[in-house]
Amino acid sequence: MNTASKPLHLHEDRLFSSDPTQRAIARRLYAQVATLPIVSPHGHTDPGWFAGNAPFANATELLLVPDHYVFRMLYSQGIGLDALGIPHADGTRAPVDPRAAWRVFAEHFHLFRGTPSSMWLNHVFHEVFGLRTRLDAGSADSYYDTITAALQTEAFRPRALFERFDIEVIATTEGPLDPLVHHQTIRDSGWSGKVVTAYRPDEVVDPEHEAFGTALQRFGEITGEDVHSWDGYLRAHRNRRAFFASLGATSTDHGHESALTANLSDAEARRLFETILRGDFSPAQAALFRGQVLTEMAAMSLDDGLVMQLHPGCFRNHNPLLFARHGRNVGADLPLTTEYVHALKPLLDRFGNEPGFRFILFTLDESTYSRELGPMAGHYPCLSLGPAWWFHDAPEGMWRFREQTLATAGFYNTVGFNDDTRAFLSIPARHDVARRIDCAVLAKLVAEHRIDEDEAAEVVVDLAYRLPKSAYKL
């Protein structure tokens, strides 16, 4: 058998236990969720895709260029991002033929063996495009031609794929300066697909963000507020949150280096803000300001009902060369040790017992699952745990999340699954993996007589569908 003819096959029992008893239970549970609609309450797909409904250009632009999981691995093996057509920070690109970039990807697809990327991509190849041979150097051109040709048809336009994937609702994530024109276009178009936004104000919250000064100026211009006063700054946030909510937002999102929160007096907060505006702040003062704004965001959530998400513990732009050349989100971000018990106490002291406040926590530090996050979510009514995230949204990471949080948080202090991706076509694959892992986890509990199968069948539907809808008020 030559290289190009090796079959691509998705086993019906993938991710289920090899133990026959558990596997049989998992199969029965999976039958309850396999065809449920997809609720995607947090992610980073481009709303312009659904607004314009233009065809995707080619295989490279759709499956390679937006996926930092993919080009991160290739870069680790010495493949420059210019060879893959990854845009520069200024929007320009190296003059690379997209077919040539795809060939580089195909020649190195073996690097992804055993990774979640290989599962997601093979699911896309097999289920979305009907490909039945594996991707490698020998099949690169055939893959490229098949995928690119399909993308030019009506059936593969963004809205058609949205409907084919049975996506009930998808949330995108936009910055505080975004005019949300794509969301308005979607709403005005009369299309039935539900695409909502989420408020991610990092660039006007983080004084160490490279765009903070100019972003703050623009923030004031579009809100009509004096954002160089503490009161005006807070009013500007309320203004934008209301605007985002008017176009479907039910949540905010905050990507901070730590989970630090603060509860300063009004006078202290004003003095800190003045220090930030002068630009002579220390790293500790920048962190304190971010922490105070998180607490202010919680106060606003209590007023406007937006669910608050915190994605902390990432060292962004660790590789200065890549950051200078290609900008943010090019796969040079790394997990950090993250502490929650002391860090969140100022915020929880104010709002932890408020019945109208919802706060979803994520982590890149798995050591916190059983020590901090599970016990906290298992106590505070406002807290829920987001699923295994980013570097840990692999089968092993999903297992660890369930095993380490179940004892203290149970299933019902978690929010089910969200895909948190820019890679649109991988969304069904990611949800399928999460559903299979939850079926496998529950099958083990049933086989060990820790839960009855009828209970497991109810839980697995809750995790796949009901919990994300409820947690994100969708």
Least reliable range by pLDDT among 31-35, 282-286, 327-331 = 327-331
* Confidence grade of residue 368 (pLDDT, cut at 50, 70, 90): very high
pLDDT in tens, 263-310: 999 999 999 999 999 999 999 999 999 999 999 999 999 999 999 999
From the options 1.10.2020.10, 3.20.20.140, 2.60.120.10, 1.20.910.10, give the CATH code of 55-156. 1.10.2020.10
Q: What is the 3-state secondary structure (H, E, C) of the chain?
A: CCHHHCECCCCCCCCCCCCHHHHHHHHHHHHHHCCCCEEECCCCCCHHHHHHCCCCCCHHHHHHCCCHHHHHHHHHCCCCHHHHCCCCCCCCCCCCCHHHHHHHHHHCHHHHCCCHHHHHHHHHHHHHCCCCECCCHHHHHHHHHHHHHHHCCHHHCHHHHHHHCCEEEEECCECCCCCCHHHHHHHHHCCCCCEECCECCHHHCCCCCCCHHHHHHHHHHHHCCCCCCHHHHHHHHHHHHHHHHHCCCCEEEECCCCCCCCCCCHHHHHHHHHHHHHCCCCHHHHHHHHHHHHHHHHHHHHHHCCEEEECCCEECCCCHHHHHHHCCCCCCCEECCCCCCCCCHHHHHHHCCCCCCCEEECCCCCCHHHHHHHHHHCCCCCEEECCCCHHHCCHHHHHHHHHHHHHHHCCCCECCCCCCCCCHHHHHHHHHHHHHHHHHHHHHHHHCCCCCHHHHHHHHHHHHHHHHHHHCCC
Superfamily of domain 8-54+159-471: Metal-dependent hydrolases (3.20.20.140)
Q: What is the 3-state secondary structure (H, E, C) of 115-181?
A: CHHHHHHHHHHHHHCCCCECCCHHHHHHHHHHHHHHHCCHHHCHHHHHHHCCEEEEECCECCCCCCH
Residue 247 in this model has a pLDDT that exceeds 60:
yes
**Residues listed for the chain:** 474
**369, amino acid identity:** Y
**134, amino acid identity:** R
Q: What is the mean pLDDT of residues 30-58?
A: 97
Residue 2 in this model has a pLDDT that exceeds 60:
no
Of 195, 126, 127, nearest to 167 by C-alpha is 195
Sign of CA pseudo-dihedral 145, 146, 147, 149: positive
pLDDT of residue 329: 83
Burial class (CB in 10 A: 0-12, 13-18, 19+), 446: buried
Q: What is the mean pLDDT of residues 412-431?
A: 96
Residue 345 in this model has a pLDDT that exceeds 80:
yes
Residue recorded with tokens 């109208």: 356
d(CA 228, CA 233): 7
The answer to whether residues 128 and 147 touch, using CB atoms and an 8 Å cutoff, is: no
Q: What six digits make up the tokens of 436?
A: 């299979």
Residue 242 in this model has a pLDDT that exceeds 70:
yes
* Confidence grade of residue 199 (pLDDT, cut at 50, 70, 90): very high
Residue recorded with tokens 């991002």: 81
pLDDT of residue 159: 98
Q: What six digits make up the tokens of 14?
A: 């993938």
Burial class (CB in 10 A: 0-12, 13-18, 19+), 64: buried
Residue 223 in this model has a pLDDT that exceeds 60:
yes
pLDDT of residue 456: 98
The answer to whether residues 439 and 432 touch, using CB atoms and an 8 Å cutoff, is: no
Strand partners, 307: 251
* Confidence grade of residue 1 (pLDDT, cut at 50, 70, 90): very low
**Domain ranges for the chain:** 8-54+159-471, 55-156
**What are the two backbone dihedrals, phi and then psi, of residue 360, each rounded to the nearest 5 degrees?**
-105, 125
Residue 122 in this model has a pLDDT that exceeds 90:
yes
Burial class (CB in 10 A: 0-12, 13-18, 19+), 107: middle
Q: What is the pTM of this model?
A: 0.97
